[in-house]
Amino acid sequence: MSENKKAIDTLNKDDLIVISGAGGFIAGALTRYFHEQGFKRIRAIDKKPLEDWYQLIPGVESLTLDLSQRDNCQRAVEGAVEVYNLAADMGGMGFISNFRVECLRSILINTHMIEAAYQSGAERYFFSSSACAYNTELQQDPNVRALKETDAYPAFPERGYGWEKLMSEIFCQEYWAERKLKTAIARFHNCYGPHGTWDGGREKAPAALCRKVIAAKDAGKTEIEIWGDGGQTRSFMYIDDCVRGIDLIMHCEDLIATPINLGSSELVSINELVDMIEDFADVKLERKYKLDAPRGVAGRNSDNTMINNILGWEPDTPLKEGMKKTYTWIESQFQDRKAGKKTVS
């Protein structure tokens, strides 16, 4: 932990931080996180028009650039001391199951961004990987054992999205080994929270289920549709834990070019998650299970032994606490949309 503190102290509040994917959920929250810490020069990048960004932070240089294009990456990282690459075409299980080519094409973003960061003289580079990089054969049982970092090999990740993440991790490792660019790699496990996607096909299970329960209650309906049989298990990490973890991992000398889990270890089934949301809404709904819908692996959980040993920390926001905040925010978004107001998604 002393090395981590030493590294943080070397970053000046006037140093330029570049964050890609900043019009979306996690990178938008990360932009706000660093801004609130007092960093004065932050460049936020996303390919979406500014009016479609989930969060626009006053005082942050916000640019619309498609980072699958090499020239745009060079423009994005010019003068940067640290680069956080969270840009990717991705979404919930429905999206990554049906648009694997789009997910694979995100490798262009990391390929061009890491080279541009190296050429520009950036000191550190962060890549947002995913638990989808893990061997799917280890995730066939809802009572799954928690996944350790070594479980990514022998490689058999999720098609499309998982392979893109695994290959991009290798790029980060080789840029350190061969070119001495300090890279950091976090494998995200299902991040959720306010200011995230909650409708439209790219949302993840916590947001989708909140929306379904809210919509059913609002319409006076008595049932909701659940993808799969409800027995699938996952761990879900609250957004505040995610951005704190990114900071700690990026600035730890012991984690250079070393993939590490960033996720909660609190395992829950989809049915249990629905139970929780129904309690928030004070309703009880009949569940219609759509067994032919994309459901992903049967079970996935984060083994946090490594992050605890190295950082003395792990994501620890209780699921019920984070989900209550998320439900309340989505409910307000739902009502705003009904009233004709602009919403996140």
Residue pLDDT tens, the chain, 345 long: 444 443 445 689 999 999 999 999 999 999 999 999 999 999 999 999 999 999 999 999 999 999 999 999 999 999 999 999 999 876 666 777 777 888 788 899 999 999 999 999 999 999 999 998 999 999 888 888 899 999 999 998 888 888 999 999 999 999 999 999 999 999 999 999 999 999 988 888 999 999 999 999 999 999 999 999 999 999 999 999 999 999 999 999 999 999 999 999 999 999 999 999 999 999 999 999 999 887 778 899 999 999 999 999 999 999 999 999 999 999 999 999 999 998 987
Decide if 73 is inside a domain.
Answer: yes
Determine if the peptide bond prior to 318 is cis (ω within 30°). Answer: no
Q: Give domain status of residue 332, yes or no.
A: no
Question: What are the residue ranges of helices labelled H in the chain?
Answer: 2-9, 25-36, 70-77, 93-98, 100-105, 107-120, 161-179, 205-219, 239-250, 270-281, 305-311, 319-338
- The reply to whether 157 falls in a domain is yes
What local confidence, expressed as pLDDT, does residue 90 receive?
A: 67
Which pLDDT does position 95 carry in this prediction? 72
Q: Specify if 197 maps to a domain.
A: no
- The count of domains in the chain is 1
Residues 257 and 145: their CA atoms lie apart, in Å, by: 25
Is the CB of residue 239 less than 8 Å from the CB of residue 176?
Answer: no
**Residue in the block written with tokens 């001495």:** 180
Q: What is the CATH number of the domain that holds 85?
A: 3.40.50.720
Q: How far apart are CA 70 and CA 66, in angstroms?
A: 9
β-bridge mates for residue 62, sequence order: 44
Residues assigned a catalytic role: 161
pLDDT (0 to 100) of residue 93: 65
Range of the domain at 16: 2-192+236-262
